[in-house]
Amino acid sequence: MKSVPQISLEEAVALVKDGDILLQGGFGMTGNPVHLMHALAETGTRNLTFIGNNVGEAGIGGGKLLRNGQIKKMIGSFFTSNPEAVKAAQDGDVEYELLPQGTLAEAIRAGGAGIGGFYTPTSAGTELAKGRETKVIQGKEQVFVEGIRGNVAFVRAWRADTAGNLSYRMTEQNFNRAMATAADLVIAEVEEIVPVGEIAPEHVHTPGSYVNYLVQATLTLEDLGSSASVESSRKVSERRMNMAKRALQELKRGDVVNLGIGIPTLVADLITPEDGIVMHTENGMLGVGPSPKDGGGAMDYPVNAGKIPVTALPGSSYFDSADSFAMIRGRHVDIAVMGGLEVDEQANLANWAVPGQPLLGVGGAMDLASGAKTLIITMTHTNKDGSAKVVPTCALPLTALKAVDMIITDLAVFRFIDGQLTLTELMPGATLEEVREKTSATFKEALSA
Sheet holding 134-137, edge to edge: 117-120, 140-146, 134-137
Residues 6+ positions from 445 with CB-CB distance below 8 Å = 422, 423, 432
173 in Cβ contact with 284 (< 8 Å): yes
Among residues 53, 23, 308, 48, the alpha carbon closest in space to that of 188 is found at 23
Residues 6+ positions from 139 with CB-CB distance below 8 Å = none
Strand, helix or coil at 187? Answer: strand
The active-site residue out of 189, 282, 342, 345 is 282
Tell me how far apart the alpha carbons of residues 213 and 398 are, in angstroms, rounded to a whole number. 43
Strand, helix or coil at 221? Answer: helix
Among residues 173, 212, 134, the alpha carbon closest in space to that of 32 is found at 173
Strand, helix or coil at 425? Answer: strand
204 in Cβ contact with 137 (< 8 Å): no
Active site residue 282: yes
DSSP strands (E only) in 325-398: 335-339, 342-344, 349-350, 374-378, 390-391
Q: Catalytic amino acids? A: 282
